[in-house]
Amino acid sequence: MDWKKIIIQFLGLQDVVLIDVKLFERDLRAEIVVEVVRGRGSCCAKCKQPLGKVKEWFWRKVKVPPMGIFNEVKVKYKTFRAWCDKCSGNRQVQIQWLHFKHRSMTAGFVETAGRLMQETTCEAAGRLLGGIHSMQMMRVDQTRMNQMLQNYEIPNVNYSSMTADEIHFKTIKLTQRKGLWGKRWDREWITNLVSVDYNKKEKKHEGKVLFNAVGRGKASLRDCFSVLSKGQKMAVEWFCCDMHDPFIEGAKTHLPNAKICVDRFHVVQLANKAFDQVRKYELTRAESQFQKDMLLPSKRFILVSREKDLSKAELKQLERLREENKNINTAMVLVEYIHKAFDKTNLKSFRQTLANWHRVVRESKLEPFLKFAKTIKQYRKLIENYIISRLTTAVSEGLNNKIKALKRAGYGYSSKNYFRNKILQRCGYLNHYSIPTDHLLFRNSTK
């Protein structure tokens, strides 16, 4: 067994001869000394034409992937310049295992670092790979993701159910305000398109981000759909989003066969907001200390929770509050009725429950719930589509939490494109698990 060839192959090198190996056990460093082989395949690094007579030999150093316990490994290689007829000058020989952009690293090192940055931060990856600066690692990560985007293809996924949701990118200060009372800050968003599938083995819905775009309007959703072919768009049967009109209009335009449904979570969220407005008003009118304590902002989540999620002591307190305050009692009934309506599994019972809910709202004359009832009427058909499909944006919301953790770990992102790519890398298909990149470990390629 030729251990020299094995070491060279471990490092992802080709067309070299191993001369020496230097190990520094105190600081866990290693230096591999090799010499580039002068052969018939030697060509110019600039024009890729065969080289002639060798002019000079010289030494260079590059970073290579770690080997065992030695996390900082460098290759000191002896290379040459030779005469190039096409360039009419002495040119350096092309070394294929060097990265095409980061010349101080091998292609194998860049791919190893990129795979590590798929799982952790750039700073952590730099520490693990021998104390490389986080900015340099970030540039390596950007180069690798841009390279992979050229071959980005969505694998065979379920296109029948999709959701879209936006995630906050950053808040910027406006330099030019419209008037004295114009807004000073503006929020920037990223829209993510997610495919949803049901995992029968684990009995849960799961999905990944297919593509994303800057903004949260109809144009951003159109850009997200741009990665789908015409047939894939025709295959979409259900599309779920919140009550954001640009998303609804964009889905109607680009998904001809899809039925659009409104997410249950966002409807219930509006019901909770209406209840909170009633709570605030009743808090200002409360006379007894018990009502003042129960209507505090810290108790608002208990007031809108379902009975099965509360303890016996909390249920007794709520029962007393209902007896003392009729408006709070009515508001709590209205919130509970919304939950019961969404629990229905057929349209007939849902419509009947919703009709009773509208009747109670009219009789209660509570202004926040009257406004909320108008919203329910506006999106009635889309809400009924949820009852049929039971599709929610839960998968998108779960991915949003993962993206928020990613943003916090990176202490925020300044580049929109980099943040979009990181979302696709961590929550989508822009990684080596979906795009084959094994060829980049041994031979430098820009494909």
pLDDT of 445 reads 52
Segment 356-375, tens digit of pLDDT: 999 999 999 999 999 999 99
pLDDT of 116 reads 95
Reply yes or no on whether the pLDDT at 5 is more than 60. yes
Mean pLDDT of all residues belonging to the chain = 91
Positive or negative: CA dihedral 138, 140, 143, 147: negative
pLDDT of 1 reads 62
CA distance 91 to 43: 9
Percent of the chain with pLDDT over 70: 98
Reply yes or no on whether the pLDDT at 398 is more than 50. yes
Q: Go through the chain and tell me how many residues it has.
A: 447
pLDDT higher at 263 or 178: 263
Q: Is 342 left (phi over 0), alpha (psi -120 to 50) or beta?
A: alpha
Contact 391, 383 (CB under 8 A): no
Reply yes or no on whether the pLDDT at 125 is more than 90. yes
Token output for 9? 């192959």
CATH of domain 161-263+393-427: 3.30.420
Each domain of the chain, given as residue ranges in start order, spans: 3-150, 161-263+393-427, 264-389
Q: What is the mean pLDDT of residues 16-43?
A: 90
Reply yes or no on whether the pLDDT at 98 is more than 90. yes
Contact 423, 192 (CB under 8 A): yes
pLDDT higher at 60 or 176: 60
CA distance 309 to 359: 27
Across 40-54, 120-134, 222-236, least confident range: 40-54
pLDDT of 447 reads 44
Nearest C-alpha neighbor of 336 from the set 271, 388, 276, 280: 271
| HSE-CB for 331 with a 13 A CA cutoff | 30
pLDDT of 61 reads 95
pLDDT band at 4 (very low <50, low <70, confident <90, very high): confident
| HSE-CB for 244 with a 13 A CA cutoff | 21
pTM for the whole thing?
Answer: 0.89
